[in-house]
Structure 1
Amino acid sequence: MSTSRPTLAQVARLAGVSVASVSRALNGGSASRGTVEKVRAAVNELGYVPDATARLLKLGHTPAIACAVPDIANPIYVAMVKAMEAVTRREGFRLSLTSVGSDADEIAELVRSMDRGFADGLIITPLRVTEGLVEALLTLSVPVVVIGRIAPEVPLDAVSVDSAAGVRAAIDHLVAAGHDAVTLVNGPDDTTPGRYRLAAYLDAAAAYGFVPRVITATDFTTEAALVALGDCMADAASRPSAVLATNDLLAVGVMRAAAKAGVEVGPDLGVVGMDDTVYANLVQPPLTSVSLAAGERATQAIELLLARIARPGRAHQRVTVDPTLVLRESSPTRRGWPQ
């Protein structure tokens, strides 16, 4: 979607009137004939289409959008919020951020609060999509966009990433680097990312003919990865030669466990993460990671929501973005493998 379409503020500047005057002129409010003519001329020159801001200004309040994420400490969500802010600031919306964890009751309460005038639209990135959450979203009186996977028959706008393709790209890379098997370090597999990335890993293991080995952490965090790994890095007989972690925080946990055991990440232990967050360039060696296009997903989601606010009856859309493997020093050719 284009991010350069004309805005209400641009119409106002070209017409030499206030944003409020433009809104009144476009929506049949109190405006002089001269103002209306100026606004129409500016609209025609710019090719402006009335947007969500104009529609909500008609209602007499500054529009606001709520964004609900599982964990604001996770840099993937920070990247998403930054991308959303760039659009909301341009369009004259406030953006409110709420960290809701993965508790279904807390998320449901947030959804119910939308009907108390808390915001004019909601973007939500749930780790778990339950029937109860879907029902709450469908009964919401304000528009909602989901960043993540939801069932195709659910009439909601959603933006997702082809994480299965990202998993396969990572395993292709590790096998080509000389590893005959790859261990998966995953978060809870009852979550949407945990379930889909596990399934993609098992498919890849079957395709390459290696026995799958999955280490499941209780959360998608560095601390949870360290607990789940235990002493496996210290035991040379059971230590993997390559690990795919289903997010960068888990990958950092893998690298910390390796360092504690005196294992050199890179030549002796190939590590690949997912999300390509800022952490990927902060650790040593820098982390190979699968970019899941956080900024693009967030931008697509906010554009979908603004379009839904402006035109509530439009057809629902599903957008899928592609992942990209970003190579760094944590996954070179395995030591001893022919170059």
Structure 2
Amino acid sequence: MASVSRVLNGLPATEEMVERVQRAVEELGYVPDARARSLKVGRTFQLTLAVADVGNPVYVTMMRAVEEVVSAAGYRLVVTTTGPDVVDEVALVRGMARGYADGLVISPLRVDDDLIKSIRECDVPVVVAGNVPASAGVDTVRANSPKGMLLAVEHLLATGRKRIAFVNGPVDTVPGTARAKGFADAMKANGLRPVAEVEAVDFTFAAGRDAGVELLSGLDIGVRGSGAEARGGRPGAEARGGRLDAVIAANDLLAVGIMHELAARELVVPDDVAVIGMDDSELAEQCFPPLTSVNLGSAERGRRAAELLLARIDDDTRAPRRIVVQPTLSVRKSTP
């Protein structure tokens, strides 16, 4: 019995014993009872990844990276959606006491004191893929959104675009706060003022289209010769804050929504208006024209978060770690 257990659990055994056990497993069609195993060893061998929206391509990328790491360590990954409400995030963390998973990676859209408290008091290890205060005392992996914004602004300047607008998601969210500050700092560092700033109601395609309507209403579009005005179309109205020749969006879904609204007004990307997104998700390559986007390292963040969680499961006494993943810019056809 002991020898069979060693083989089935991947522990060292002689080649002969491994061969005999595997042959018996095949002949009998044996499948281990996960419930019995969990009761005996005190583990479920399941880990949970909680994100705001499983339909967002950036979370899909993160999920794949987390799954790759934890499956190699013998764990199954369970993915769940928290939605945008911090109350639901808190409920999920507190629900971990039910014992259906051995650890949690959570990417919260909003953070408050109740969420931090629930993470600290959670019965299983928790890693935050996002930004929480250092005083929280938990393992975290986050993107450097401010540096990503600086890359986007400097790229537009290098291509001759200075009349830049910003479309953010809700500013009371973790990414919304970071990207708003990053944009403001990047513009100030380059001696620029934004043509306009719009806050979308969400980080979705539909919200991007609505934000595009708000942005373009009353703005003068900086037609550069091959867009609407060159084809005899109607030029933009008088500007509220100058002519517009570029838009930075807080994520790729918003950016694509804006591009659709530009196309609906017969404006050409990038000839009339250049567009930059953030996240560098699969969507950035799939849209037309392909979207220039700031890569915030979603796959790397997923991998690092999974590694931190496994390390925390093995040793719950070690000091918390705070990891920052640096961004890069993926230049495509939506900018010159």
- Say whether the fold is shared (TM-score over 0.5): yes
In the alignment, what sits opposite 2:304?
300
Q: Size of the alignment, in residue pairs?
A: 292
Q: Distance in 1 between matches of 2:5 and 2:138?
A: 39
Among 233, 237, 241, the alignment partner of 2:216 is 233
CA distance in 2, matches of 1:159, 1:17: 35
Provide Cα deviations, 1:262-320, integer angstroms capped at 9, x if missing partner.
Answer: 11001211100000011111111110000111111000000000010011111111111
Q: Residue 76 of structure 2: which of 85, 91, 94 is its match?
A: 94
Deviations 1:315-335, CA, capped at 9 Å, x for gaps? 111111110100001010xxx
- The match for 2:27 is none
Distance between the aligned counterparts of 1:104 and 1:198, measured in 2?
20
CA contact under 8 A between 1:241 and 1:268: conserved in structure 2? yes
Q: Is the 8 A contact 1:20 1:57 kept in 2?
A: no
Instruction: State the shift of 1:159 in Å.
Output: 0.3
The aligned residue for residue 134 of structure 1 is 116
For 1:223 and 1:319, locate their aligned partners in 2 and report how far apart those are by CA, in whole Å: 33
SS in 2 for 1:18: helix
Residues 224-270 of structure 1: CA distance to partner in whole angstroms, max 9, x if unpaired? Answer: 12112226436513362100001000000110010001110012111
Which of 173, 189, 201 aligns to 1:218? It is 201
* Separation in 1, partners of 2:97, 2:5: 37
Q: Indicate the residue corresponding to 1:287 in structure 2.
A: 291
Which SS does the other structure have where 2:117 is aligned? helix
TM-score of the pair, normalised by structure 1: 0.81
Q: Shift of the alpha carbon at 1:17?
A: 4.3
SS in 2 for 1:196: helix
User: In the alignment, which residue of structure 1 is the partner of 2:138?
Assistant: 156
Contact (CA 8 Å) 1:57, 1:63: kept in 2 or not? Answer: no
Aligned to 2:71, the other structure's residue is in SS state helix
Matched, 1:124 2:106: yes
Structure 1 residues without counterparts, runs of 5 or longer: 1-11, 26-33, 39-55, 333-339
Cα distance in structure 1, aligned partners of 2:302 and 2:129: 7
The one-letter amino acid paired with 1:77 is: Y
Q: 1:302 to 1:58 in 2, by over 3 A?
A: farther
TM-score for the superposition, normalised by structure 2 = 0.82
Deviation at 1:209, TM superposition (A): 2.2
Post-superposition offset of 1:122:
0.5
Residue in 2 aligned with 1:29?
Answer: none
Report the secondary structure of 1:167's partner residue.
Answer: helix
Identity %: 42
Q: Is the 8 A contact 2:171 2:180 kept in 1?
A: yes
Q: 1:230 aligns to what SS in structure 2?
A: helix
Counterpart pick for 1:325 among 314, 326, 329 = 329
**Contact (CA 8 Å) 2:139, 2:308: kept in 1 or not?**
yes
Matched, 1:20 2:9: yes
Secondary structure at the counterpart of residue 294 of structure 2: strand
Partner of 1:73: 55
Kindly provide the amino acid, as one letter, of the partner of residue 73 in structure 1. Answer: G
CA–CA separation in structure 1 for the residues paired with 2:335 and 2:51: 30
**Residue 313 of structure 1: aligned partner:** 317
Per-residue CA deviation, residues 196-246 of structure 1 (Å, 9 max, x unaligned), is: 111111112212222222111010111112112226436513362100001
C-alpha deviation, 1:21, in angstroms = 7.4
